[in-house]
């Protein structure tokens, strides 16, 4: 996927409230911009970004083989905060190597509004709009902040 996360910490990727409900098997995140995200444990397990689950160096990961996840594997045991940038859940099978960055957790937010946004983004990305769709004259300003070092 040619998508690079913006490494800048914004309100959208800052968690102001994190609540892991082990009994219900949910992870709730309240964001600094007011948005609320709730993951169920199964969806969260499928998102695991670790090398084992996702694969590395072009090789498919374990989750790419579409395994049937056992109740243990989707049982949220604990969630650890990694610095200010990621969460690392521990699963019932002992798996704990997935560092879910807040950028990832926000990007993959399962709520309806975010789902609709992702569909729009996917629509927009690959093909340029046909010329006749140019109704609103939007100007895109590209700001470059590259400093020239004085010589």
> Contact positions toward Zn ion, by CB under 5 A?
48, 50, 53, 98, 109, 111, 114
- Min dist. Cβ of residue 5 to Zn ion (A): 16
Nearer to Zn ion, 58 or 136 (CB): 58
Which tokens belong to 80? 């650890």
Is the Cβ of residue 15 or residue 109 nearer to Zn ion in the bound state?
A: 109
Q: In terms of C-beta density within 10 A (0-12 exposed, 13-18 middle, 19 or more buried), how is residue 134 classed?
A: exposed
- In angstroms, give the least distance from the CB of 28 to Zn ion: 12
| Residues in CB range of 111: below 8 A, 6 or more apart | 36, 37, 38
Question: CB-wise, 69 or 85, nearer to Zn ion?
Answer: 69
> CA 108, CA 38: separation in Å to the nearest integer?
11
**Encoded tokens for 105:** 């957790």
Closest contact distance (angstroms) between CB of 115 and Zn ion is: 8
């Amino acid at each position: 996927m040619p998508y690079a996360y913006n490494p800048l910490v914004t309100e959208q990727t800052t968690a102001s409230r994190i609540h892991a409900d082990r009994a219900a098997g949910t992870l709730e995140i309240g964001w600094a911009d007011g948005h609320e995200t709730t993951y169920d444990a199964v969806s969260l397990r499928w998102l695991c970004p670790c090398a084992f689950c996702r694969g590395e160096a072009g090789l498919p990961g374990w989750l790419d083989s579409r395994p049937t996840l056992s109740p243990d594997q989707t049982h949220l045991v604990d969630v650890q905060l990694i610095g200010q940038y990621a969460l690392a859940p521990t699963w019932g099978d002992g798996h704990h190597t997935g560092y879910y960055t807040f950028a990832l957790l926000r990007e993959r937010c399962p709520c309806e509004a975010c789902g609709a946004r992702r569909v729009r983004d996917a629509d927009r990305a690959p093909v340029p709009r046909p010329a006749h769709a140019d109704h609103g004259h939007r100007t895109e300003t590209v700001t470059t902040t590259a400093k020239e070092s004085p010589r």
